[in-house]
Amino acid sequence: MDHATYNQSFSLPIGPGSAYPPPPYHYRGVEDIFISYEPDPDGVAALLPPGVEPADEVPVCIAWGRWIPFSAFGPYNEAYIMIRATFGGQTFLYQPFIFTDNEIPLVAGREIWGFAKKLAVMERHSGGSGTPFGEQMLFTVERPRGQRLMTMAIACDRLQDPAELDDLPVLSTRLIPNAEPGPPSVSQLVRLDVVAPLHTSAAGTPKLWTGRASVSMDARSAVDPWHLLAPTRIIQGWFGVFDFDLGYGKVVHDYLAGDTYDSEGRAVSAAATR
pLDDT tens digits, residue range 199-237?
999 999 999 999 999 999 999 999 999 999 999 999 999
pTM given for the model: 0.93
- Lowest mean pLDDT across 11-15, 63-67, 83-87, 213-217: 11-15
- Beta 25-39 vs 61-68: how paired, if at all? antiparallel
Quote the distance between the C-alpha of residue 30 and its chain's center: 14
Single-letter code of the amino acid located at 261: Y
Q: What CATH number does the domain located at 22-249 have? A: 2.40.400.10
pLDDT in tens, 113-146: 999 999 999 999 876 666 666 789 999 999 999 9
Residue 21 contacts by C-beta under 8 Å, 6 or more apart in sequence? 10, 11, 72
Residue 36 contacts by C-beta under 8 Å, 6 or more apart in sequence? 60, 61, 62, 234, 235, 236, 237
Q: Would you say residue 184 has pLDDT above 90?
A: yes
Look at residue 272 in the predicted model and tell me its pLDDT: 45
Q: Would you say residue 273 has pLDDT above 50?
A: no
> Can the peptide bond before residue 13 be classed as cis, meaning omega within 30 degrees of 0?
yes
